[in-house]
Amino acid sequence: MQCERGATLEDWNTFRIPATAAYRILCTHPDELQLLPEILPTAELPLLVLGNGSNVLFTENYPGIVLRASFRGIRCVEEDPDSICVEAAAGESWHEFVHTCLQRGWHGLENLALIPGTVGAAPVHNIGAYGVEVAQCLESVRVWDSVTHEFRWIPTTELALSYRTSALRTAWLGKVVVTHVRFRLRRAVQPSWDYPELKEYLTALGILKPTPEDIFHAVCALRRRKLPDPTDFPNAGSFFRNPIVPVEHAEELQRRYPTMPCFPHGDSAVKIPAGWLLEHCGWKNIRRGNVGTWKRHALVVINHGATSGREILRFAATLWRSVYNYFGIALEPEVLIVPAVAWQPWED
Q: Active-site positions?
A: 164, 238, 334
- Stretch 4-23: interaction string toward ligand EPU, x if CB under 6 A: --------------------
Q: From the CB of 42, what's the least distance to ligand EPU, in Å?
A: 31
CB 346 within 8 A of CB 321: yes
Q: From the CB of 166, what's the least distance to ligand EPU, in Å?
A: 14
Residues from 287 through 306 that contact ligand EPU (CB under 6 A): 297-299
**Using rule CB under 6 A, residue 284 touches ligand EPU:** yes
Q: From the CB of 55, what's the least distance to ligand EPU, in Å?
A: 7
Q: Kindly indicate which of the ranges 15-23, 45-53, 94-102, 272-280 contains the residues binding ligand EPU, using the contact rule CB under 6 A.
A: 272-280
CB 42 within 8 A of CB 32: no
**Using rule CB under 6 A, residue 334 touches ligand EPU:** yes
DSSP string, 145-168: ETTTTEEEEEEGGGS--BTTB-TT
Collapsed DSSP state (helix, strand, coil) of residue 249: helix
Residue among 10 and 279 whose Cβ is closer to ligand EPU: 279
Strand partners, 144: 151, 177
Q: Kindly indicate which of the ranges 69-77, 235-243, 305-313, 336-344 contains the residues binding ligand EPU, using the contact rule CB under 6 A.
A: 235-243
Residue among 210 and 237 whose Cβ is closer to ligand EPU: 237
**Using rule CB under 6 A, residue 237 touches ligand EPU:** yes
- Three-class DSSP labels, 5-74: ECCECHHHCCCCCCCEEEEEEEECCHHHHHHHHHHCCHHHCCEEEECCCCCEEECCCEEEEEEEECCCCE
CA distances 60 to 51, 99, 248, Å, are: 19, 36, 40
Closest CA to 59 of 342, 346, 347: 342
CB 123 within 8 A of CB 161: yes
Q: From the CB of 334, what's the least distance to ligand EPU, in Å?
A: 5
CA distances 270 to 9, 165, 250, 309, 323, Å, are: 37, 17, 7, 32, 17
Count residues contacting ligand EPU (CB under 6 A)? Answer: 17
Per CB under 6 A, the list member of 109, 129, 137, 323 interacting with ligand EPU is: 129
Residue among 110 and 334 whose Cβ is closer to ligand EPU: 334
**Using rule CB under 6 A, residue 169 touches ligand EPU:** no
- The CA angle 237-241-247, to the nearest 5 degrees, is 145
**Using rule CB under 6 A, residue 238 touches ligand EPU:** yes
Residues that bind ligand EPU in the complex, under the rule CB under 6 A: 129-130, 197, 237-238, 241-242, 261, 273, 275-276, 279, 284, 297-299, 334
